[in-house]
Amino acid sequence: MPPAEKPHVAKPGRTSVELFAGGGGLAMAVEGAGFRPLLLNEFARHACETLAANGAKPHELDGERPPPVPAPGERPPLVIGDVAKLDFDHLRGAVDLLAGGPPCQPFSLGGVAKGDEDGRNGFPHMFRAIREMQPKSVICENVRGLLRPSFAPYFDYIKRELALPFEERADGGSWRDHDGVLRHMLETASVDPRERYDVEHFPVNAADYGVPQIRQRVIVVAFRRDVGVDWDRFRELVRPRYSEASLHDSMLDGSYWDRHRGVPDRVRRQIMARLSLRPSPSPIAERSLPWRTLRDALAGIDGQRPLPAVTRLDRKEHNLGGFTDHIGWPDARIYPGHTPNELDRPAKTVKAGVHGVPGGESVVLLDDRSHRYLTVRETARVMTFPDDWKLVGPRGEQMRQLGNAVPVALGRTFAGAVSAVLDEAETVRRPM
């Protein structure tokens, strides 16, 4: 089985800005890839408290002075409030990567089919930030629903807006009218490469990137054309390197069970009975690493300590084994259409809720056939958050932050690839 490639770490001096930072998954990934954050922005109170608890410096918008630009080694300002009131001109030319997950609630098929758009759409603010900062690169993460065929015309429009962010929509104009202008410019006009971005989108399943969770998303990446990055190199760096086939093969050859020797024989036999025995490892598995499972996450991934078993389910504020937010929670239910997570599969998609989340995404079925809600810390592991990341707020708000976040391992892959191709492009352009 090939070893996992470590994401590239940006050379010293690379900088980033994050909008719609939420509970910090993508921000953590971008900084972990070596970018120095210059600014974070978030509106939700508990998410802001989480970011502040992990080192960001709260900064209230005053409408006059821009937030301070941190010196190397200083923590970034966390601008609290509506992104519409935030100007970015003070960062023009200083940003290598603009990242964010614009709110996805506005994307109703009925609305865009009529040419109407919800005011909560976060993409216009991303485009304005690009105009004011002119970053070298952009990463946007969003729901896979953007790729539905009935939504395709509007999603294509979003990508054309990102390609030509300096061509603003006329006041009162419809998105369809503006899309016609953008199409014409892309086909006929010569645009300054410093104001033109090359854009691609990547449908992803987080499990294919080492995240112990089935999470279907779309990641949109853009590079300013004058930077001259190698797109083929970027595509190779973000190619999935984990697979379900390899997980099955690791169970068949015993290596998975060697990692989890405490699994009861009954459970192991049930899992093995489901697998179609193959005479030889699958070609996909030979080139990839096994999907990580919920059991892997609880046992500890990449050097984490195992999480202790939860034995009390009483809602009392207590933690186990020195882990914060590892608190038992009672009253989990299983019924048709509300089935639990299985330990030997990647977890279901973490969603922004606690109870009432459809599908049983917050419930886990244990080896003894009992079931309970996942703890916040277990859910954080499913999102590949480190154990020392502090989540602030009541349980429901903590789970909301996790459900809205980007898994750190997924974000790190894409941020690391961005830093790699930026570094390589500068090396190519540098005179010998």
Mean pLDDT value of segment 225-235: 98
Mean pLDDT value of segment 15-34: 96
pLDDT at 138 over 60: yes
pLDDT at 276 over 70: no
pLDDT digit string (tens) for 38-73? 999 999 999 999 999 999 999 987 767 889 999 999
Closest CA to 278 of 287, 286, 270, 268: 286
Please tell me the predicted confidence (pLDDT) of residue 3.
46
The residues, ordered by sequence, that sit 6+ positions from 267 with a Cβ below 8 Å of its Cβ are 343, 344, 367
pLDDT at 275 over 70: yes
Reduced to 3 states, what is the DSSP secondary structure of residue 320? strand
- pLDDT band at residue 8 under the 50/70/90 scheme: confident
State CA 234 to chain mean position distance. 18
pLDDT digit string (tens) for 352-361? 854 445 677 8
The overall average pLDDT reported for the chain is 89
- pLDDT band at residue 30 under the 50/70/90 scheme: very high
pLDDT at 150 over 90: no
Percent of the chain past pLDDT 90, that is, above it, reads 70
Candidate from 17-21, 44-48, 104-108, 406-410 with smallest mean pLDDT: 104-108
Please tell me the predicted confidence (pLDDT) of residue 107.
54
- Residues 123, 100 contacting (CB under 8 angstroms): no
Closest CA to 91 of 76, 101, 113: 76
Please tell me the predicted confidence (pLDDT) of residue 60.
83
Please name each of the domains of the chain with its CATH number. 15-241+407-429 (3.40.50.150), 242-287 (no CATH)
Please tell me the predicted confidence (pLDDT) of residue 354.
47
pLDDT at 283 over 70: no
Percent of the chain past pLDDT 70, that is, above it, reads 88
- pLDDT band at residue 428 under the 50/70/90 scheme: confident
pLDDT digit string (tens) for 358-411? 677 899 999 999 999 999 999 999 999 999 999 999 999 999 999 999 999 999
- pLDDT band at residue 104 under the 50/70/90 scheme: low
- pLDDT band at residue 135 under the 50/70/90 scheme: very high
pLDDT at 115 over 50: no
Please tell me the predicted confidence (pLDDT) of residue 1.
36
Return the exposure string of 321-344: e unless at least 16 CB atoms fall within 10 Å of the residue's CB, then b: eebebbbbbeebeeeeeeebbbbb
Give the pair of three-digit tokens for residue 51.
């970011």
Please tell me the predicted confidence (pLDDT) of residue 164.
97
The residues, ordered by sequence, that sit 6+ positions from 408 with a Cβ below 8 Å of its Cβ are 25, 28, 29, 32, 383, 384, 385, 386
Residue length, the chain? 432
The residues, ordered by sequence, that sit 6+ positions from 54 with a Cβ below 8 Å of its Cβ are 24, 389, 390
pLDDT digit string (tens) for 84-98? 899 999 999 999 999
Tell me how far apart the alpha carbons of residues 224 and 195 are, in angstroms, rounded to a whole number.
7
Say what the pTM is: 0.92
The label of the residue with tokens 């990102």 reads 162
- pLDDT band at residue 432 under the 50/70/90 scheme: very low
